[in-house]
Amino acid sequence: MPETTNSDNGVQIDLISGSRMAGLRSMEKIRLILDGVREGNIVILEEGLSPDEESKLIEVTMTEISPDDFSGIEIESYPRAETADQSFLDKLMGRESTKKLTVIGPANQIETLHKDEQLISALVSRK
Amino acid sequence: MMGLLTNLRDSISRVTDRLFASEEPKRIGIYGPPNAGKTTLANRIARDWTGDAIGPESHVPHETRRARRKEDVSIERNGKSVSIDIVDTPGVTTKVDYKEFLDHDMEKDDAIRRSREATEGVAEAMHWLREDVDGVIYVLDSSTDPFTQVNTMLIGIIESRELPVLIFANKTDLEDSDVQRVADAFPDHETVPLSALEGNNMDEVYDKIAEYFG
Ligand SMILES: Nc1nc2c(ncn2[C@@H]2O[C@H](COP(=O)(O)OP(=O)(O)OP(=O)(O)O)[C@@H](O)[C@H]2O)c(=O)[nH]1
Ligand SMILES: [Mg+2]
């Protein structure tokens, strides 16, 4: 990720493309997300995580929580439509279909993360 | 030499395990968000069929911070006996802030310890879900909004592992309970209403457990 210095009064938003994520292994994706979130950034994934990766994200988040430093994440996402074009090869290889558009941020900075059918809205406080 | 013997014994027991696989009790994980009533349910099931409880219940979230197991719980249904291992797990969440426990009259040290144990417990419960359970009872407080990201993610994880799952809409004794809202949130799964605290609708609960996990 290009180095942008987080000034005191801003909130950095990282929008990570699906193709960027596609080249990464599960743990690399989780590292990328948590490194961003732990710096106070809002991370938006164009293509979300697989169920297995989500479960690992929860697990790794838990192991990193520490008092007065990191209290975990807020996360919201839209499920991929059932009709999503999962290729024949994907099915054959048992690749899990992922979710689309996922917003992840530091729990202590996100005051509300609200979702309805068409909108995810985050109220973010500065650090 | 000892190592060899244990290895031998392990491999023999693995063979016998496989031979009797159909009679091995299934390991049923009780999952859900904090405070849903998982331990209350686990205790009721254990008390009804074994006579003793599994662990402490509390209105303070993250009361259960270590998965607790009760093995070989035999549930009698229609003249048949269904044997399951019940695993009561810590409530799953994506965040734990020790400061929330301070509101429950806890000293800072205790609150920090509780939050550390809670995070370890949730991590362990997630790991178990990927490796170690044969079926899931997903418990929700039916008086609260079921459309949360944690619920969606967990049900997604359970589905992707193709585990049999029952949704338990708990706390039907509360005025705000809305079982239909729970059923609407998870239309692909069967929802069973109950009050684990009052013991309401436990007959259907045991029917469904026998049907899904027997
Ligand atoms: N009204 C009502 N309260 C219930 C019911 N089941 C559980 N409770 C209460 O809800 C609170 C939480 O119950 P627990 O069984 O400890 O919940 P849990 O899901 O195990 O919670 P954690 O271990 O913290 O994840 C306690 O105060 C229980 O008495 C119910 O059916 N009705
Ligand atoms: Mg509990």
Expressed in angstroms and rounded, the spacing between residue A11 Cα and the centre of ligand 2 is 37
**By the 8 A CB rule, do B168 and A95 touch?**
no
Q: What is the chain A residue with the closest CA to B119? A: A62
Residues B118-162 pLDDT 10s? 999 999 999 999 988 999 999 999 999 999 999 999 999 999 999
Residues A28-55 pLDDT 10s? 999 999 999 999 999 999 999 999 999 9
Across B81-90, average pLDDT:
94
Expressed in angstroms and rounded, the spacing between residue B213 Cα and the centre of ligand 2 is 21
Residues A74-104 pLDDT 10s? 999 876 554 445 555 555 555 555 557 899 9
Q: What's the confidence (pLDDT) of residue A103?
A: 93
Query: Residue B96: its chain A contacts at CB < 8 A?
Result: 62, 65, 71-72
The answer to whether ipTM exceeds 0.90 is no
Q: Which domains does chain B have, with CATH numbers?
A: 31-213 (3.40.50.300)
Average pLDDT along chain B: 91
Give yes or no for residue B75 having a pLDDT over 90.
yes
Expressed in angstroms and rounded, the spacing between residue B141 Cα and the centre of ligand 1 is 8
Distance, in angstroms, between B101 CA and closest chain A CA?
12
Query: Residue A50: its chain B contacts at CB < 8 A?
Result: 160
Residue to mutate among B65, B97, B127, with most A CBs inside 10 A, is B97
In a mutational test of the pocket of ligand 1, which residue from B44, B172, B192, B197 has the highest number of ligand atoms less than 8 Å from its CB? Answer: B197
Q: Which domains does chain A have, with CATH numbers?
A: 13-80+87-124 (3.30.110)
∠ CA A54-A66-B93, rounded to 5°: 35
Res. B80 pLDDT band, cuts 50 70 90: confident
Residue A92 at interface with chain B, using a CB cutoff of 8 Å: no
Across A11-20, average pLDDT:
92
**By the 8 A CB rule, do A44 and A103 touch?**
yes
DSSP conformational letter for A39: T
CB contact under 8 A, B94 and A58: yes
Q: What's the confidence (pLDDT) of residue B59?
A: 94
The pTM of this model reads 0.87
% chain B with pLDDT above 70: 89
DSSP string for A60-110: HHHHH-BTTTB-BEEEEEEPPPTT----HHHHHTTPPP--EEEEEEETTTE
Query: Residue B92: its chain A contacts at CB < 8 A?
Result: 58
